[in-house]
Copies of this chain bind each other. A is one copy, B any other.
Amino acid sequence: MTERPSTGVRSYATPQLEAFIARALGAVGLPPSDAAEVARLMVRADLRGADGHGIFRLPQYVRRIRAGAVNVRPRIGVASETEAMALVDGDNGMGHLVMGFATRLAMDKAARQAVSWVGVRRSNHAGPAALYAMMPLERDMIGLYLAVGNANHLPPWGGIEMLLSTNPIAVAIPAAEEPPIVLDMATTVAAYGKVKTAAQRGEMIPEGWMLDTRGQPLTDPRRADEGFLLPIGGYKGYGLSLVFGLLAGTLNGAANGRDVVDFNKDDVTPTNTGHAIVALDVRRFAPTDAFKRSVDTLIRDIRCSKRLPGVERIRLPGEQSHVTFVERSKDGVPLNPALQAQLHRLAEDLGIAPLSRL
């Protein structure tokens, strides 16, 4: 355990975090193996620095499970399939389990057909997009993941009604000696979590993140409820969010547009979350090693290229998360005092052993 006294931030090791999450999810009814799988994926999010998508979400997940909004004994199944495609019905199970199932299926299909597309409906929040895009890397495959976000914070371009979510895309591409390229991005300038974090810290947010309903820049995050997020590239980000929502949501019979349940405000309604995962088997396109070396070359060309004045390093997508992963795998995951206290109360509430420290 590393404590930084001035901040109260403490770091926790992977086994402790996984065991605590598994205890909590077991206490609300998940079978032990399912609880362990969700815990593993949630901690992987924390290890990669996706702090808003890991153990931070545990109290909310527990609250929604207890309210009956999530099925703890889902029968995850395939509603339609070919050798290259499947439509998975998550039976309202935890999103991590549903997406784990869908991604394994996608990889098996891609191993035979070189490409697969698996759509998912009746799932739930599954953590950061990169988790699933990265799974195919283990088999030298490329992963591409799309999802409908679990709250609408984005209006169409020119509008003020929040009919769209921050619908993310993640793409993971294997390299040889370099870390893989892992793009994981919302289609808005800032994720809503960043706005909430700024509000907690009493900080202002930059112009360009949000507008109010009169079209004026909104920079006080405590007023976030009076405005909405801005898409990247104006109408372009709106277009991306829209088509990703159609591909991950509407096409699969999952929620999109007005049907989206705001899971931050509503603990009782099933979200019918939609996702899509695509796997591409590199070896059908090129010898795997040659492809991975080409990716290395591009990475190094970019990293070593000339920089703007004042820029210390040119980064590749996923590079910072990889560094964080290496650090946190060694030093543990830092949790702030508010989250520590919240998890302590959760343990008491569930009658389970608290999160043990390193």
- Chain A contact residues, CB within 8 Å of chain B: 80, 82-85, 87, 112-117, 119, 142, 155-161, 163, 169, 171, 173, 181, 183, 185, 189, 211, 213-215, 232-233, 235-240, 242-243, 246-247, 250-253, 256-258, 278, 280, 282, 284-286, 291, 294-295, 297-298, 301-302, 305-311, 313-317
Per the bound structure, the CA–CA distance linking A119 and B286 in Å amounts to 11
In the complex, besides A163-B301, A251-B282, 12 extra interface pairs with C-beta distance below 8 angstroms are: A83-B83, A85-B114, A119-B285, A142-B247, A156-B302, A159-B308, A160-B307, A163-B298, A181-B243, A215-B309, A242-B316, A251-B285
List residues of chain B with CB within 8 A of the CB of A243: 171, 173, 181, 183, 317
CB distance from A80 to the nearest CB of B (A): 6
List residues of chain B with CB within 8 A of the CB of A115: 82, 84-85, 115-117
Copy tally for this chain in the complex stands at 2
Per the bound structure, the CA–CA distance linking A243 and B160 in Å amounts to 31
List residues of chain B with CB within 8 A of the CB of A84: 83-85, 113-116
Inter-subunit contact A157/B83 (CB<8 Å): no
Per the bound structure, the CA–CA distance linking A158 and B315 in Å amounts to 8
Known A-B contacts A84-B83, A232-B232; A306 and B159 likewise in contact (beta carbons under 8 Å): yes
CB distance from A59 to the nearest CB of B (A): 30
Q: Whose C-beta in chain B lies nearest to the C-beta of A312? A: B158
6 closest A-B pairs by CB: A232-B233, A84-B84, A85-B114, A161-B305, A115-B117, A158-B311
Task: Select which of B142, B256, B278 is within 8 A of A251 by beta carbon.
Answer: B142
